[in-house]
């Protein structure tokens, strides 16, 4: 996880880094599409990589093809390059990556193999045959915040996060804003672990939040440790990456889930048809476009709140609700988004402020 995100946030915006001029004509394969996936961890890690692998399985079913996966390919060129080149030598011409740390090597490989299509989630590099993409996770976290407030008796919510970077801060803020649509007095206390995947730190953070009387805990970290603590403590939680009710069915009331196949299937069909023209800025995907969605809602969420979550999701899909639409102030009263405006993508990726109701260490 660190390799996937930390440099990305240091430079500001995945959608704006390393813009590359594109060819005038759409990319065309020289033969039928033959797809493969390369992941930097084991494919059943319970989180990010497993979400990609599950998308792979759904694509296999939809396309009627076999899509092999190579696991445990670390985020360095000496590991990525031979794995991908072996696939290319075996005739694979659509390569799907899995990490920010693949960005530079995929850029080099795309230039070396212009007849091969490369797709990379959480990447920052793009080109005539290379497209990076990520999801607007604040949309799904907003919805999970609504569910969390519905399940909470105290109005005191918690959130376990890795680092106070833009793509984490936007989830924390959205979670709080969603919660306040259900309970205007709700608060969200966020604890940063300093690591994307550290179940020991995640457990400690969740236990500390529970000791404060917080009765629903959200997350933007990799493991289900938060869910397990919530179930042990008899409180509730919301998940990230996948539907984490798999690990804690009594505790989990909503999860922000990746639905990559909803984006990748149309892209692959464009590649097959010879109409694929990757954006020079990559793709920043809404729920409608196939970034994230929600698995909601658990039994602790009242029906009227669950119905409101469903209606709000549809409003987001229909473009009637912009989570970061103005007017919006931060918790210090400073205007961040004017009435009638929507926060720009660059400002999302560099977000270093919190909305009213967020209690943080910063």
* pLDDT over threshold 50, residue 6: no
Residue bearing tokens 């804690």: 248
Using a pLDDT cut of 70, give the percent of the chain over it: 93
In sequence order, which residues have a C-beta less than 8 Å from that of residue 136 and are 6 or more positions away? Answer: 284, 285, 286, 287, 291, 292
Backbone angles phi, psi at 72, to 5 degrees: 55, 45
Q: Across all residues in the chain, what is the average pLDDT?
A: 93
pLDDT of residue 275: 96
pLDDT of residue 26: 87
* pLDDT over threshold 80, residue 307: yes
Give the burial string for 288-319 (b: 16+ CB within 10 Å, else e): ebbbbbbbbbbebbeeebbebbeebbeebeee
pLDDT of residue 362: 63
Tens of pLDDT, residues 73-129: 999 999 999 999 999 999 999 999 999 999 999 999 999 999 999 999 999 999 999
* pLDDT over threshold 80, residue 233: yes
Alpha helix segments (H runs only) across 64-102: 77-89
pLDDT of residue 361: 79
Helix (H/G/I), strand (E/B), else coil: 284 = strand
The pTM of the full predicted model, rounded to 2 decimals, is 0.91
Give the lowest-confidence range in 18-27, 185-194, 256-265, 319-328: 18-27
Closest CA to 56 of 4, 99, 95, 20: 95
């Amino acid at each position: 996880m660190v390799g996937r995100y930390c440099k990305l946030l240091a430079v500001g915006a995945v959608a704006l880094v390393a813009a590359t001029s594109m060819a005038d004509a759409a990319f065309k394969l020289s033969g039928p599409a033959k797809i493969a996936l390369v992941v930097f961890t084991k494919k059943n890690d319970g989180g990010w990589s497993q979400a990609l692998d599950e998308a792979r399985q759904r694509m296999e079913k939809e396309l009627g093809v076999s899509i092999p996966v190579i696991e445990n390919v670390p985020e360095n060129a000496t590991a990525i390059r031979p794995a991908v080149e072996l696939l290319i030598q075996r005739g694979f011409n659509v390569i799907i990556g899995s990490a920010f740390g693949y960005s530079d090597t995929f850029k080099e490989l795309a230039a070396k193999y212009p007849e091969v299509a490369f797709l990379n989630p959480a990447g920052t590099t793009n080109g005539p045959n290379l497209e990076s993409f990520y999801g607007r996770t604040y949309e799904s976290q907003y919805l999970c915040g609504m569910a969390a407030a519905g399940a909470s008796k105290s109005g005191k919510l918690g959130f376990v996060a890795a680092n106070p970077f833009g793509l984490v801060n936007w989830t924390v803020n959205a979670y709080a804003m969603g919660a306040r649509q259900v309970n205007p007095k709700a608060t969200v206390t966020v604890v940063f672990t300093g690591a994307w995947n550290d179940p020991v730190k995640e457990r400690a953070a969740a236990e500390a939040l529970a000791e404060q009387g917080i009765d629903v805990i959200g997350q933007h970290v990799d493991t289900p440790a938060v869910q397990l603590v919530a179930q042990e403590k008899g409180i509730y939680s919301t998940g990230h990456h996948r539907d984490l009710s798999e690990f804690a069915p009594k505790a989990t009331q909503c999860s922000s889930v990746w639905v990559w196949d909803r984006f990748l299937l149309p892209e692959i069909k464009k590649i097959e048809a010879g109409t694929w023209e990757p954006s020079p800025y990559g793709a920043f995907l809404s729920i409608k476009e196939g970034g994230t969605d929600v698995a909601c809602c658990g039994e602790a969420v009242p029906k009227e709140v669950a119905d409101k979550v469903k209606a709000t999701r549809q409003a987001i899909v229909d473009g009637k609700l912009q989570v970061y639409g103005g007017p919006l102030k931060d918790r210090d009263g400073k205007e961040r988004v004017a009435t009638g405006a929507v926060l720009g993508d660059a400002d999302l990726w560099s977000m270093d402020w919190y909305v009213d109701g967020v209690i943080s260490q910063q």
